[in-house]
Amino acid sequence: MQSKKWSVDACVGEAIISARYDRSEMVCSKTLYNYIDLGLMKIKNTDLPQKLRRTTKKAKVRKNKRVLGRSIEERDKAIESRQEFGHWEIDTVIGVKDKEDEVLLTLAERKTRHFITTKIDNKGKDAVMKAIAEIRQEYDDKFTEVFKTITGDNGQEFADLSTLELITSNNTKVYFTHPYSSFEKGTNERHNGLLRRFIPKGSPIGEYTVDDIAFIEDWCNMLPRKILGYKTPFELFEAELDTIYAA
């Protein structure tokens, strides 16, 4: 758990699907968490950052006049089910409050939980759109099949994001959450939390190399997920791409 920075549940799930041990030799995730609470293992709760971060506060939708484009309320309700591939959430992650420091642009796909993170020069809208253009170039004529929708917040860095609809002839739709409602793009928020295990708040992004960022991205995409039947985002994303490119 400590060496791979996996959760207790991810370790148990991976052990089950890989038949690493006989089931009679294993205990469930809940029992392991109880052992940790009782101090019966070397792992402590302080080694489980996600457990300490959990909150029971009720989310609230606050109002704000700034609206950059089509509201998430107009997004197809079927997207909530996560049954269809190609629906993404976008965000930025800063290290320090310094305009000279680089920023991370992150995207998470809702069905497979595939995570993309890339360094951009700053938190400006031009830097964001430059990164989007590079992603479009990577997927070329399949971009709109891989990126059917993108949902962001009302941060000024996404002021030009809606132009993506014009660029793609409206084949990629762009939506915006309600102001102060980050829970409406919880998939991306969850992944940003995973990223923070490697890049704590207050650590300059500029101190991390492109290889460092690629390692973190790979770690996130190779992490077995209970919600995915202990498969990895990488496996599921590649399967979706195979279907798209085979058509």
User: Domain of 121: which CATH number?
Assistant: 3.30.420.10
Q: Check whether residue 156 and residue 196 sit in a common domain.
A: yes
Least confident of 32-36, 140-144, 198-202: 32-36
Q: Check whether residue 197 and residue 230 sit in a common domain.
A: yes
Dihedral angle sign, alpha carbons of residues 151, 224, 32, 82: positive
Q: Check whether residue 82 and residue 115 sit in a common domain.
A: yes
Burial code (b: 16+ CB inside 10 Å, e: under 16) for 158-177 equals bbbbbebbeebeeebbbbbb
Is the pLDDT reported for residue 197 higher than 80?
Answer: yes
Give the relative orientation of helices 29-37 and 8-17 as an angle to the nearest 10 degrees.
Answer: 140
Q: Tokens 């998430």 correspond to what residue? A: 72
Structure tokens at 173: 């739709």
Is the pLDDT reported for residue 55 higher than 90?
Answer: no
Determine, yes or no, domain membership for 58.
Answer: no
Q: Which domain holds residue 226?
A: 72-246
- pLDDT (tens digit per residue) in 92-139: 999 998 889 999 999 999 999 999 999 999 999 999 999 999 999 999
Q: Check whether residue 121 and residue 235 sit in a common domain.
A: yes
Q: Tokens 């976008």 correspond to what residue? A: 90
Q: pTM of the full predicted structure?
A: 0.76
Whole-angstrom distance, CA of residue 8 vs CA of residue 29: 6
- pLDDT (tens digit per residue) in 204-244: 999 999 999 999 999 999 999 999 999 999 999 999 999 99
Determine, yes or no, domain membership for 60.
Answer: no
Q: Check whether residue 30 and residue 147 sit in a common domain.
A: no
Q: Check whether residue 19 and residue 113 sit in a common domain.
A: no
Q: Tokens 């700053």 correspond to what residue? A: 122
Determine, yes or no, domain membership for 13.
Answer: yes
Q: Check whether residue 216 and residue 96 sit in a common domain.
A: yes
Determine, yes or no, domain membership for 85.
Answer: yes
Average pLDDT on 67-94 reads: 95
- pLDDT confidence band for 68 (50 / 70 / 90): confident
Domain count, the chain: 2
